Amino acid sequence: MKKIVVGVTDCSKYAKYADWISSDGNVEVVKLGYTLSFDEVKKCEGVLFTGGEDVHPRFYNRMDLLQFCYPDDVDERRDEFDLKVLDYTQSHGLPVLGICRGLQIANVFFGGTLIPDLPSFGRFNHSKFGEGNDRYHSIQIDPASQLSKITECQSGKVNSAHHQAVKHVGKGLVANCFSADGVIEGLERINPIGKPSLTLVQWHPERMLNQQEALSFKIKQHFLGAIGKQ
């Protein structure tokens, strides 16, 4: 059987994402990053956008918010590269799975904005605990959403390791789930008909404690299935 070719954007935990998406043995992973040739994306049938650095506020025209970003955790070269890859996926009809930062950079690509630091803007802390462990919290899923159909869930518990989040939702997108304190935890297309699959989640399905949970396993299954249908 021919393997599915999935691009995975480079980050400090690249191996975790690559191992997760290829764990069923029918996936070939291609590393994507600004230190590599952009032509690598042309090999891909779908792209997984990984977590990592803060998105620089200049990409959503809010330079005044740079003060709220982590100073050593901004990489404009990565932002530029990821936005270029997103443009490629949309113009070439490639399915996309965006995780954590992947959701945030995709929202910016579609014209949305971000909350640069949740605690600074009166929200609960969604970042890791001091020991480096993910937080876990509940989410409510819109029962009419694509995400609900994909996961067969209307609620659940997800891990959390972010301090930035969606503020204004990008054009053509809609929020499909929220945490109890109102933070957007997922985005999807308002009208997906005739457009490539786009699944954007704020949590980390690749490292949830129970990999058989619907909000982990079925997210991956849907993404790979969307590639297989092309």
Residues labelled as active-site residues: 100, 204, 206
The CB density around residue 171, as the number of other CB atoms within 10 Å, is 10
Own/partner pairs for 119-124, CB < 8 Å, 24+ apart? Answer: 119/163, 120/68, 121/68, 123/165, 123/181, 123/182, 123/183, 124/179, 124/181, 124/183
Distance CA 69, CA 55 (A): 8
Asked if 53 contacts 101 with a C-beta cutoff of 8 angstroms, the reply is yes
Token pair of 209 as six digits: 């404690």
Q: Is the dihedral of CA 94, 158, 173, 12 positive or negative?
A: negative
95/229 Cα distance (integer angstroms): 10
State the Cα–Cα distance between residues 129 and 112, nearest whole angstrom.
Answer: 28
Burial 178-192 (b: 16+ CB within 10 A, else e): bbeeebbbbbbbeee
The encoded tokens of residue 125 equal: 């802390």
